[in-house]
Chains A and B, each alone.
Chain A
């Protein structure tokens, strides 16, 4: 069974601070996705990383896929209150001729003004 552990589970910081969220597994994934979820809404895809060691940047967000494709990190620079939300990582793996996603439990981020 593929499992994804995210850390920290909760983080409350001040506007302007930097932070890093980690997503770890003992399993290898075909790709890894990061989602952001706001209260009362569904998760929204931020990025997909596919290649081991890949780094993608989305404005102040930097995503990295581990060399072995078992882990990933999300770094946010100069966090803003609008970054508040639940950040979920999800690993994709083949099963039964299709690709399935397994989600971590998420990291709840609060950015205080």
Chain B
């Protein structure tokens, strides 16, 4: 079975440029999560969706960050304009949340996008 697929795997760009990260969740999963991982702060939740609807975006650092999920099989995380401090590894994860308490549903992570802003 295909896991969570993220693209690109690596992105190097100059500050001020727009960056778009992409994620294809596991088929049948209805929850999608975007995380950012750095040495200093570890793995931080940016935003998550249930059934394509953003539920909690309190982790999105600034208005420069935006995320969309136009359908159940695709999500994007956009940074515009990008800054050097945005450099990190960005992970997408998906899980299945049933109607009755999905607290134990494991999250499946993609292999991440390593983003470097020069």
**Across the interface, do B107 and A101 meet the contact criterion of CB distance under 8 Å?**
yes
Q: How would you classify the secondary structure of chain B's contact residues: helix, strand, loop or mixed?
A: strand
Which residues on A are within 8 Å of B, measured CB to CB?
30-31, 33, 40-45, 48, 50, 88, 92, 94-106
Q: Are A41 and B43 in contact (CB under 8 A)?
A: no
**CB within 8 Å of A: which B88-104 residues:** 91, 93, 97, 102-104
Determine if A102 and B103 form an interchain contact, defined as CB atoms under 8 angstroms apart: no
- 21 inter-chain pairs at a CB distance below 8 angstroms, sorted by A residue, are A40-B111, A41-B112, A42-B4, A42-B93, A42-B112, A43-B43, A43-B109, A44-B109, A45-B108, A88-B42, A95-B56, A96-B56, A97-B55, A98-B48, A98-B56, A99-B97, A101-B45, A101-B107, A105-B41, A105-B42, A106-B42
Once the chains are docked, how many angstroms separate the CA of A106 from the CA of B45?
A: 15
Give residues in B with beta carbon < 8 Å to A.
Answer: 4, 31, 33, 41-45, 48, 50, 55-56, 91, 93, 97, 102-104, 106-112
CB-defined contacts of A92 to chain B, threshold 8 Å: 103-104
- Tell me the nearest residue of chain B to A97, going by C-beta: B55
Shortest 3 CB-CB contacts between residues of A and residues of B: A42-B109, A105-B42, A103-B43
CB-CB nearest in chain A for B35: A103
Please name the residue on chain A nearest to B105 by beta carbon: A99
Which single residue of chain B is at the shortest CB-CB distance from A92? B103
Q: Are B106 and A33 in contact (CB under 8 A)?
A: yes
Which chain B positions have C-beta within 8 A of A99?
97, 102-103
Q: Are B4 and A98 in contact (CB under 8 A)?
A: no
User: Which chain B positions have C-beta within 8 A of A101?
Assistant: 33, 45, 107
Across the interface, do B110 and A42 meet the contact criterion of CB distance under 8 Å? yes
Partner of B42, one of A48, A96, A97, A104: A104
Given contacts A31-B103, A102-B45, 10 further A-B contacts (CB under 8 A): A41-B111, A42-B93, A43-B43, A50-B104, A88-B43, A98-B31, A98-B56, A100-B45, A103-B43, A103-B44
